[in-house]
Chains A and B, each alone.
Chain A
């Protein structure tokens, strides 16, 4: 198993893993940013800071990326550069609710794996969208962003019991769609 996969598997929100990940990618992320030629000098350091602010916050919140951690970090770096160049740096991003960042696209999982998981994610996202606001948001945060139901409840400002009820109701609504092949 490659080193990255091992690290990803060990990821548990434990800061000792986080230390190693951030320190390992600290230098490569700066070079990634500088290779674009879009930001210079201290601006690149500022973008790097924003990248790792986001990564550390998400990992600590229990997020699991759908691709190896290095590839996820580089994709987040691309999004952060785009936001920075567009004048939407850090400040605006940090005001967004968890998982909603301007300029984000779905992780390009297909770039790292033979299975085109991007397509699968899109189908699932569409299905969750059909559930409506509350159920769709909960299912997206739980299944696509990797938060447990207590964290989802906290993020949505509802009780844990309510989150479990919404989750149960959403699953019951989805089952017939799955039986019909997701249509």
Chain B
């Protein structure tokens, strides 16, 4: 069995065991000139394997999304977590200073209400949010601005208090200039 086939078989077994294997991590384990071939094998596995039964948290987030409500907010409230606690845990998980908490709070609000473009968010943030929320990273349902069309667009803001929509003014009003926090939430993929 070639290395690629061995990796694909490992991927298949991890899928079957419900371990949410990361295809990108598997690609990274192959020599660069063999990644395209491995990618094809991984997609064959995904096409062949029946989809896993969705985790309750994923179903909850999908249902919120299809109703036009923010999935991350739905998940947080279902777990009885306050936004302050999530922000605090997220800051710690990202290895940021206590002084960064307000800035993290601003971005988290944008993230939770679907106002932050997903392509700008660093991998570390996805992983940290998933960990704080207790779900697999790949199961996390974050919405960017474009996704509000899945349900009733206005509903996304329905639960936000008037005047709490975040914009650049909110960030500008905070002490200190743009830095690590801004890079994590808007710096691009990777």
Contacts and interface: CB of A to CB of B under 8 A. Distances in A.
Interface of A: 2-4, 15, 18-20, 22-28, 30-32, 34-37, 39-46, 49-50, 52-53, 56-57, 70-71, 74, 90-91, 94
Contacts, number: 133
B24 A34 contact: yes
> Which of B49, B53, B118, B188 has the most chain A CB atoms inside 10 A of its CB?
B118
Contacts of A15: 66
Interface of B: 20-24, 26-27, 35-36, 38-39, 42-43, 46-47, 49-54, 58-59, 62-63, 65-66, 117-123, 126, 136, 138-139, 141-144, 146-147, 149-150, 188-190
Given A23-B54, A26-B138, A28-B51, 9 more contacts: A19-B62, A34-B22, A40-B123, A42-B118, A42-B119, A42-B126, A53-B149, A53-B150, A94-B149
A21 to B, nearest CB: 9
A53 B147 contact: yes
Q: Which of A30, A35, A39, A70 has the most CB of B within 10 A?
A: A35
A90 B51 contact: no
A41 B126 contact: yes
Please classify the interface of chain B as helix (H, G, I), strand (E, B), loop, or mixed, using the class held by over half of its residues: helix
A37 B138 contact: no
- Interface SS majority for chain A: helix
30 contacts: A15-B66, A20-B54, A22-B62, A23-B62, A26-B138, A27-B58, A28-B49, A28-B52, A32-B23, A35-B23, A35-B38, A35-B39, A35-B42, A37-B24, A37-B36, A37-B39, A39-B189, A40-B24, A41-B121, A41-B126, A43-B118, A45-B121, A45-B144, A46-B118, A49-B143, A53-B146, A53-B147, A53-B149, A53-B150, A94-B149
A45 B189 CA distance: 10
